[in-house]
Structure 1
Amino acid sequence: MNLSQMRHLLAIHETGSYSRAAEQLHLTQPALSRSIQSLEDELGLPLIDRVGKRNEFTAFGEAIVERAKRIVFETEEIRRTAQLLKGGLSGGIRVGMGAGPSALFMAPLLNRLAHEHPAIHVEISQGGADLLLKQLHDKALDVLILDTRVANPIETLQVEQLPDAPAAFLCRAGHPLLALARVRIDDLSRYRVASSPLSAEIGRLLLERYGPKAHPEKLVTMRSDALQALLDTVSQSDIVYLGIRALAAQALADGKLQELPITPALNSAARYGLYTLTGRTQPPALDIIRLMVLEEAKRIFN
């Protein structure tokens, strides 16, 4: 029994096919079949039943797969630990960010790394939560910064909560709604509302607080992850922005945008978190990234 056989077994389990697994492993199909047969002979029990053209793992095979996953993972982590210790802080780190975190943290993070830790090699990827979580699980990324209400917690993930990021309804200076002492949902529904894609939890909050007219499918008519482009559009039109207030801090300070006095008050916030894989050896630079993000979050949201 060896590590290669464990990898071969996992490839068949993942792909469901000897031919696809052989292609993935850059082996011939007969060579892969011999490897599995040798493993079955050594263990004395079948791992895979060949039912027509289908391959079904036996109960014993499924149990071995779970153990093989841990063996392969720990082996990779031993190699990774050695590489990280050799590289020290001069090694690299790969960070994934959702739309909100990217708009909030990317520029200050890159600026501080360039000035305070120029030896660190950093790669930052942007994308949706599902894609970034897959890349984290595939070990293509080291850490994610995501809205914790979009990314459901599971046992393979460690999540470190960041300070809450208050949300608000914002509009351009001189918007007709600003003439009202109190803005109700009936008033707001006469205008287009722009936002990034909203989580199911935010959708429920809007419904509970403002009623059926606040259903995201009715209320929000413009959605984009390009948050700065949305804010630029809001500052030049009668569209209302629903999202993180801190993203518009400069425009609010300059008087280009103003917060709507919505009634009842929104009292909502995005909850961002730092996601890493449970049990994975982390690059030394992660502690620096974590500290910087926490410091920036406190500065931005407090």
Structure 2
Amino acid sequence: METRRMSHLVALAEERNFGKAAARVHLTQPAFSRSIQAAETEWGMKLFERGGTEVRCTAAGAFVVEKAKHLLQSARALERDVELYRDRQIGDLSFGIGPFPAATLLIPLLLDVRCKYPGIQVRVQVNNPIYALQHVRSEEHDFFVGDIRPTQDNPEFEVRRLGLLSGGLYVRKGHPLRDRRSVSMADVAPYKLALGRLPEEVQALLLRLMGRRPEEGLPVALECDDTTALKAVALATDTVMVGTPAIVKAEVAAGRLHPLEVRDLPPQASEVGVSSLRGRSLSPIAEYAVGFLGNYMAKAT
């Protein structure tokens, strides 16, 4: 039964008069009477007693009207919630983001969503693409923000490019390499690296510049997606950290970490984007978040 006809039953039960009930739902009395008769025919039961000065529900009518009230209340709640969801006043936003993009993008996005849409519940996982994209595939996350190399040629994903994120090497104040006039990647190797998971292309480049064979691997002291841990190791030891300017901004400003100029290492940058499942529509709040990230990156670069 349509909710419109349910509302007619409730109106008649409450008004106890065909004329008043018809006026309440903005119908002529003949049209309203036909609607009530159609409901009784559909259910195969007499729902109202029409004799006397007022209309009364039969036992069956009282049962149906009570259920109809609950259904109408649920329908109104659904309409209200859908409107709130569409306007990004309620709902969930779940996404993954790489450690390096997180240093630049995560806090501005979280603050913006929290201030503008306080009814939204946000869930974020900071992780490398290998693990984060598994959650996108299983639809636990709406999207992943990070290096697009794992997804740009994968038909499973739709990629929206955001911009370039530069990277470099950083060492502590007083590091032995700081005193050298010229530093090569071969000079860096003995001190080992503190880094997050690097794309294969970057790993291959560093291996070649260090003069190491692929089977030797990079000289890694720490591989970790926690940038705080990477900085702590670089600050306390001679380990060379791989990072982005945003991650070490405070430490560089304080003179505790320094960019390391390496003569044979070309400028490094990864293209950052939003990867989501192809053919899966994003929620209104997820679409807003993607738009915010694009605008923020455009202004930042």
Q: Please, what TM-score do these two structures have when normalized by structure 2?
A: 0.65
Determine the C-alpha separation between the residues in 2 that align with 1:291 and 1:227.
26
2:148 — aligned with what?
148
Check the 8 A contact 1:84/1:284 in 2, yes or no: no
Q: Deviations over 1:226-272 (max 9, x none)?
A: 11211122122211112323211221122111111211133111222
Partner of 1:229: 229
Check whether the contact 1:195–1:243 (CA below 8 A) recurs between aligned residues: yes
Tell me what 2:169 maps to: 169
RMSD: 2.6
Find the counterpart in structure 1 of residue 262 from structure 2.
262
Classify 1:282/1:216 alpha carbon distance in 2 versus 1 (closer, same or farther; 3 Å): farther
| TM-fit CA distance, 1:275 | 0.9
Q: Name the SS of the counterpart of 1:100 in structure 2.
A: helix
Q: Distance in 1 between matches of 2:93 and 2:252?
A: 34
Query: Where does structure 1 lack aligned partners over 5 or more consecutive residues?
Result: 1-82
Q: What does residue 243 of structure 1 align with?
A: 243
Q: Report what 2:292 is aligned to.
A: 292
Cα distance in 1 for residues equivalent to 2:83 and 2:290: 19
Equivalent residue, structure 2, for 1:116: 116
Q: Partners in 2 of 1:283 and 1:117 — Cα distance? A: 14
Which string of whole-angstrom CA distances, capped at 9 and with x for unpartnered residues, describes residues 82-136 of structure 1? Answer: x866621122221112232334322222122222322332221233423322222
* Cα gap change, 1:130 to 1:238, in 2 (>3 Å): closer
Q: How does 1:174-189 map to 2 (within 5 A)?
A: 174-189=174-189
Task: Answer yes or no: is 1:220 the counterpart of 2:220.
Answer: yes
> What SS does the aligned partner of 1:247 have?
coil
What is the CA-CA distance between 1:195 and the residue it aligns to? 0.6
The structure-2 alpha-carbon separation of the partners of 1:189 and 1:128, relative to structure 1 and needing over 3 Å to count, comes to closer
The sequence identity of aligned pairs, in percent, is: 23
Report the TM-score when normalising by structure 1: 0.65
Q: 1: distance between equivalents of 2:153 and 2:82?
A: 27
Query: Is the 2:186–2:210 Cα contact (8 Å) retained in structure 1?
Result: no
Q: Which amino acid aligns with 1:94?
A: S
* Structure 2 unmatched runs, 5+: 1-80
Query: Aligned residue pairs: how many?
Result: 220
Rounded to whole Å, the distance in 1 between the matches of 2:162 and 2:178 is: 32
Structure 1 residue 141 displacement after superposition: 1.4
Q: Equivalent residue of 2:217, what SS?
A: helix
Cα pair 1:149 1:201 within 8 Å, conserved = no
- Counterpart position of 2:101: 101
CA contact (8 A) 1:97 1:144 kept: yes
Deviation at 1:214, TM superposition (A): 9.3
Counterpart residue type for residue 108 of structure 1: P
Distance (Å, rounded) in 1 between the aligned partners of 2:197 and 2:131? 15
Deviation at 1:299, TM superposition (A): 5.0
